[in-house]
Amino acid sequence: MKFPIYLDYNATAPTDPRVVEVMIPYFTQTYGNAASRNHQFGWEAEQAVEKARDLLGETIGGGGREIVFTSGATESNNLAILGVADFYKEKGRHIITSPIEHKAVIDPCQALEQRGYDVTFLDVDDDGCISLEQLEKSIRPDTILVSLMAGNNEIGTLNPLEEIGKITRKHGVLFHTDATQAVGKIPLDVEQMNIDLLSFTAHKMYGPKGVGALYVRRKRPRVRLSPIMFGGGHERGMRSGTLNVPGIVGFAKALELCRDEMESEAERQIALRERLHQRLQAELDHIKLNGHPAQRLPNNLNVSFGYVEGESLIMGISDIAVSSGSACTSASLEPSYVLRALGVGDDLAHSSIRFGVGRFTTEEEIDYTADKMIFAVKRLRDMSPLYEMVQEGIDLSTVNWTSH
């Protein structure tokens, strides 16, 4: 085993050596600008880009001409939300989303609120699931966009995209999904699911960082966007800027590998995730699974450990790379807004750990992680007077705490 152990695949994935291999020639030999139409260097670069575009489009059930290349999913989300809001502003200024979306969706929505748009944030239940009934009831004559993610980056819960798509199509409202965590991990089909805009990125699927894409439907209905970046009119006027040719080539290769290995990898990763979860459950009490138990990303496990402080726990497992549920800023320690939206109390939200397994995760690493976690949690609880009180059967909610 190599240390530290990497279990943060929902944050980013290492670039697969097979991806790096196909990218290298585009740095040193085929280095033309894909927009240079006057010579062979440009033509070769353009050819590589178009081949990648076709592969990306086909893999999600669309066409190559519906793919717009961006710098990543954050830009794709911004282009989708701000681009639709501006282009369709005469039709309406109402957008529907959820409180557990990635900040790259929530922040542009909040920016639109400052400009006079109306944003409805749907409720989510304890597992992070929306109500389809509430979604349908929230649609108004001035609703122009519904933006709901495919799979949640923190808790792994999957949205029922096909059912959402049926509702949006019935009401003539555009449907955008941030599929950053889902593309390459689970099957997606923009036609079958009636998705009009879909954001994704290379680095979550063993591709390079700094390159992403936005699927923009061309027919039934044709989706129009106002650009948010100007200068040169690249990507059919939707996104100006010299294309990252090596990145795009790597993106396509990464997705091709994910597509070909999807079924076997999903099976293997679910087994690893369950192995870890079962070990933790067998040895520790007062632990809580966050997110839907079954409808979740294959590689995601998010667990809260009662009566343990999250930051201390992470320090206790310093040779394992995981993500903490609390986002630590210099001024304050705020628990995860996703877990808060699920109704998880601050104490449990602070002690949540996200484990993300991936292509290069081994059973040996999972077993080591389970041992290390169990040891760290027990050690911290041994020092916790609260845990001792709970073990003695005291209901902490009835305790009258006084300060002297």
User: What is d(CA 189, CA 45) in angstroms, rounded to the nearest whole number?
Assistant: 28
CA distances from 92 to 87, 95, 119, 326, 340 (A): 10, 9, 12, 37, 31
Q: Which of the following is catalytic: 109, 129, 258, 328? A: 328
User: What is d(CA 124, CA 269) in angstroms, rounded to the nearest whole number?
Assistant: 26
CB 196 within 8 A of CB 57: no
Mark whether 109 is an active-site residue.
no
CA trace torsion 390, 396, 402, 404 (10° rounding): 30
Residue type, 134: Q
Residue 129's φ and ψ, nearest 5 degrees, are -95, 140
User: What is d(CA 85, CA 295) in angstroms, rounded to the nearest whole number?
Assistant: 31
CA quadruple 357, 340, 200, 218: dihedral positive or negative?
Answer: positive
Q: Locate 399 and state its tokens.
A: 């305790």
**How far does CA 102 lie from the centroid of its chain?**
7
3-state DSSP assignment of residue 123 = coil
Question: Annotated catalytic sites, by residue?
Answer: 328
